[in-house]
């Protein structure tokens, strides 16, 4: 259920040269599942900016965002106390009921954030997730310690080999024996690589440029084996069985 409300920035923290963590206080009652996203209205920008919910509780919500353009650069300048108009409760999110005991959670770069809440929920459900994180370089790594603190097994790959296993998240698959399911979020080539390399079912989170973020404009449509879907409303998470590359 979509909700529009005002959140107040409690804190901002720079995690790497481009990644920031923003903690906000407000009405989180519309947040229903890990993998959902929110849509932020920023002063001076016409369209809202979609950002995944990294984690939340009854009063606060944490977003991790990468500065890639003017809107996210502006977000990074906002001081604590700033009020933001935010649409919450957007998207379907991940379904944890299908995970089995040993799901793998694959996050790549700016796709890592939603894996945090997902890992938290899966662990609370008594499951044993393995978190596979992919970054370009050692300098770009964030949240490794936070994932470990949840009690998840964490494996890191860097494309240049400067930390952990050299290569991509798919190079970490061999390290996890007998995984039961996969959850992924990251750039599309990473999603495709996980899709091809895994022998279990899974769920994959997609990105698309959005006009509204709540299903009204058909700006974000994609074709699936079960018909046309809107990434913002029927996604962003699609089941492995329905994806058409």
Partner 1 sequence: MVNTKVQLSSLTLDNPVIPASGTFGFGYEFAELYDINVLGSFSFKGTTKEPRFGNPTPRIAECPEGLINSVGLQNPGIHAVIAEELPKLAKCFHKPVIANISGFSVDEYAYCCELIDKEPQVGLIEVNVSCPNVHNGGMAFGTDAVAAAEVTRAVKAVTTKPVYIKLSPNVTDIVSIAKACEEAGADGISMINTLLGMRIDLNRKKPIIANKMGGFSGPAIFPVALRMVYQVYEAVNIPIIGMGGVSSADDVIEMMLAGATAVQVGAANLIDPFAAKKIVEDLPRAMEQYHISSLKDIIGGAH
- Interface residues with partner 1 (CB under 8 A)? 1-2, 4, 41, 45-48, 87, 208-212, 214-223, 228, 233
26 binds ligand FAD (CB under 6 A): no
Per the CB < 8 A criterion, the answer to whether 165 and 171 are in contact is yes
Question: With CB cut-offs between 5 and 8 Å by kind, which of partner 1, ligand FAD, ligand FES, none does residue 64 bind?
Answer: ligand FAD
Q: Count Cβ neighbours within 10 Å for each residue of 150-186 and write b for 16 or more, e otherwise.
A: bebbbbbbbbeeebbbeebbbbbbeebeebbbbbbbb
Binding site for ligand FES (CB under 6 A): 210-213, 215-220, 230, 232-233
Q: Which helix H or strand E contains 197, and what residues bound it?
A: helix 188-197
Give whichever of 21 and 179 is closer to ligand FAD, judged by the CB atom: 21
Question: Measured from the CB of residue 3, what is the shortest distance to ligand FMN in angstroms?
Answer: 22
Tell me 79's DSSP state: P
Dig out the tokens for 213 from the structure.
């973020």
217 binds ligand FMN (CB under 6 A): yes
Which of 229-235's residues contact partners 24+ apart within 8 Å by CB, and which partners?
Answer: 231/206, 231/207, 232/50, 232/90, 232/91, 232/208, 233/90, 233/91, 233/92, 234/92, 235/91, 235/92, 235/205, 235/206
- Pairwise CA distance, residues 115 & 70, whole Å: 25
211 binds ligand FMN (CB under 6 A): yes
Per the CB < 8 A criterion, the answer to whether 160 and 86 are in contact is no
69 binds ligand FAD (CB under 6 A): yes
Distance of CA 165 to the CA centre of its chain: 22
Residues from 103 through 122 that contact ligand FAD (CB under 6 A)? 110, 113
* One residue of 72, 88, 182, 203 binding ligand FAD per CB under 6 A: 72
Question: With CB cut-offs between 5 and 8 Å by kind, which of ligand FAD, partner 1, ligand FES, none does residue 171 bind?
Answer: none
Dig out the tokens for 240 from the structure.
């492995």
Give whichever of 189 and 211 is closer to ligand FMN, judged by the CB atom: 211
Give whichever of 45 and 195 is closer to partner 1, judged by the CB atom: 45
Q: Which residues of the chain form contacts with ligand FAD (CB under 6 A)?
A: 37, 47, 49-52, 64-66, 68-72, 110, 113, 207-210, 236
Binding site for ligand FMN (CB under 6 A): 211, 217, 219
């Amino acid at each position: 259920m979509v909700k529009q409300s005002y959140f107040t920035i409690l804190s901002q923290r720079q995690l790497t040269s481009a990644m920031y963590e923003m903690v906000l206080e407000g009405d989180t009652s519309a947040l229903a599942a890990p993998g959902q996203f929110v849509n932020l209205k920023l002063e001076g920008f016409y369209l809202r900016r979609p950002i995944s919910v990294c984690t939340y509780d009854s009063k606060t919500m944490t977003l991790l965002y990468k500065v890639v353009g003017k809107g996210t650069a502006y977000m990074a300048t906002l001081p604590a106390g700033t009020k933001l108009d935010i649409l919450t409760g957007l998207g379907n999110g991940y379904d944890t009921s299908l995970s089995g005991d040993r799901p793998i959670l694959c996050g790549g770069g700016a796709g890592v954030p939603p894996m945090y809440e997902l890992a938290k929920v899966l662990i609370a459900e008594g499951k044993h997730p393995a978190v596979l994180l992919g970054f370009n370089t050692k300098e770009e790594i964030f949240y490794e310690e936070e994932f470990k603190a949840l009690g998840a097994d964490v494996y890191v790959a860097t494309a240049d080999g400067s930390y952990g296993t050299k290569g991509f998240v798919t190079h970490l698959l061999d390290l996890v024996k007998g995984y039961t399911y996969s959850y992924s979020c990251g750039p599309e080539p990473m999603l495709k690589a996980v899709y091809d390399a895994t022998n279990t079912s899974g769920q994959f989170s997609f990105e698309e440029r959005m006009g509204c973020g709540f299903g009204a404009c058909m700006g974000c449509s994609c074709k699936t084996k079960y018909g046309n879907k809107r990434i913002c409303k029927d996604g962003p998470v699609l089941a492995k069985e329905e994806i058409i590359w």
